[in-house]
């Protein structure tokens, strides 16, 4: 049980979940988990935000097409872009679960957001999701003009497993000679799949949305071979060198098993000379960023992220 104190709106949400008697995620098959959890995530996001500039398309990936959803703001482009990867433990989540998040970020940042529907586990094990994420990011950069995007001002971001994919894409881009990225937004990211031996796991491992058991469930579905957990494309915290990555914003939730590995990754980036801002949001639990319909701090945090992105996109250091 947690040593932190939940925000009253979070306490109310957790109480309603307990009263509803929903089965724990780790007791469900992946298909059952998607059927049960995805609609709840959409509900927590609140009524659909009015945002007229939304379009869907398929882009080429390493093993077939990758669906994406493009959120383009009003006005004349080209706009900067955020390539966004949804959370869900690489097992659940889709374009719809994060539709309001992407609309809100596009609206508040005044940028194009490209949401990526990467292939899920266990049907597609590591490194499939990471390769899809990288391919989509490269596509956005190479095809920016046709979607009204400035290829010199592209950031990546995501929550939880999506935060993992965002920073892994940064590692891949450094290793593979591009694309050049100007910023990374990592919202309670998974950064180390090799170990659960952290204080935040011990303090917050039961009674909340992401438990020790559910994290083990997601890990087992995503990882094919145990040695894969040591690969930097699965556990970026284990990368020997983090130099040359884009500046970062890392957000953590106070009552979350992933809090410690987020702060450790922020420290590693800072030690590598990467401008990095780390913020821990008081009273929040894992997945709160998707709860703008029921938790006030979620919308406030969208404002915060949008502000950091605007600054990054319009920084004098950003290539033109």
Quick check: is 18 in a domain?
yes
Does residue 92 lie in a domain region?
yes
pLDDT in tens, 229-280: 999 999 999 999 999 999 999 999 999 999 999 999 999 999 999 999 999 9
22 — pLDDT class (breaks 50, 70, 90): confident
What proportion of the chain, given as a percentage, has pLDDT over 70?
97
Task: Give the domain CATH number at 95.
Answer: 3.40.50.1820
Task: Determine, yes or no, domain membership for 318.
Answer: no
DSSP for 224-251, please give it.
SSGGGGGSTTT-GGG-S--TTPPPEEEE
Q: Is residue 1 part of a domain?
A: no
- Answer whether residue 274 is part of any domain: yes
Q: Tell me: the pLDDT tens digits for 50-106? A: 999 999 999 999 999 999 999 999 998 899 999 999 999 999 999 999 999 999 999
Q: Give the number of domains in the chain.
A: 1
Domain with 76 in it? 8-313
Res 319: pLDDT: 40
pLDDT of 76 reads 87
Q: Is it the case that residue 4 has pLDDT exceeding 80?
A: no
Residues facing 70 on adjacent strands: 55, 114
Strand-pairing partners, residue 213, are none
Mean pLDDT of 202-224: 96
The phi, psi pair for 132, rounded to 5°, reads -60, -45
Annotated active-site positions, please? 160, 256, 286
Look at 48 and 2; give whichever has higher pLDDT: 48
Instruction: Specify if 3 maps to a domain.
Output: no
Q: Which residues contact 168 (CB under 8 A, 6 or more apart)?
A: 130, 133, 134, 232, 233, 234, 236
Average pLDDT, the chain: 95
pTM of the model: 0.96
Say if 319 falls within a structural domain.
Answer: no
- CA nearest neighbour of 123 among 152, 148, 91: 91
Which of the four pLDDT bands, split at 50, 70 and 90, describes residue 317? very low
Instruction: For residue 189, tell me if it sits in a domain.
Output: yes
Residue 212: exposure state from Cβ atoms within 10 A (0-12, 13-18, ≥19): middle
For 314, how many CA atoms within 13 A lie in the half-sphere containing its CB?
10
């Amino acid at each position: 049980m947690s040593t932190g104190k939940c925000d009253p709106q979070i306490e109310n949400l957790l109480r309603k979940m307990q009263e509803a008697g929903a089965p724990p995620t780790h007791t469900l098959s992946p298909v059952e988990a998607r059927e049960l959890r995805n609609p709840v995530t959409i509900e927590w996001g609140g009524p659909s935000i009015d945002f007229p500039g939304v379009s869907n398309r398929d882009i080429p990936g390493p093993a077939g097409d990758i669906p994406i959803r493009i959120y383009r703001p009003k006005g004349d482009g080209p706009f900067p872009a955020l390539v966004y990867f949804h959370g869900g433990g690489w097992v659940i989540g889709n374009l719809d679960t994060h539709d309001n998040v992407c609309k809100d970020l596009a609206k508040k940042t005044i940028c194009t957001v490209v949401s990526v529907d990467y292939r899920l586990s266990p049907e597609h094990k590591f490194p499939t999701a990471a390769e899809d994420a990288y391919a989509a990011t490269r596509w956005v950069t190479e095809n920016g003009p046709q979607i009204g995007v400035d290829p010199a001002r592209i950031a990546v971001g995501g929550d939880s497993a999506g935060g993992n994919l965002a920073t892994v894409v940064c590692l891949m881009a450094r290793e593979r000679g591009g694309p050049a990225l100007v910023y990374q937004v990592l919202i309670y990211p998974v950064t180390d799949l090799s170990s659960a031996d952290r204080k935040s796991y011990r303090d917050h491992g039961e009674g909340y949305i992401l438990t020790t058991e559910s994290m083990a469930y997601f890990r087992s579905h995503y990882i094919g071979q145990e040695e894969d957990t040591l690969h930097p494309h699965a556990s970026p915290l284990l990368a020997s060198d983090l130099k040359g990555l884009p500046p970062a914003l890392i957000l953590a939730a106070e009552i979350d098993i992933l809090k410690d590995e987020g702060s450790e990754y922020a420290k590693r980036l800072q030690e590598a000379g990467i401008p990095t801002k780390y913020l821990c949001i008081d009273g929040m639990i894992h997945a709160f960023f998707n709860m703008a319909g029921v938790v006030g701090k979620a919308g406030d945090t969208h404002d915060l992220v949008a502000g950091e992105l605007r600054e990054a996109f319009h920084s004098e250091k950003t290539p033109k």
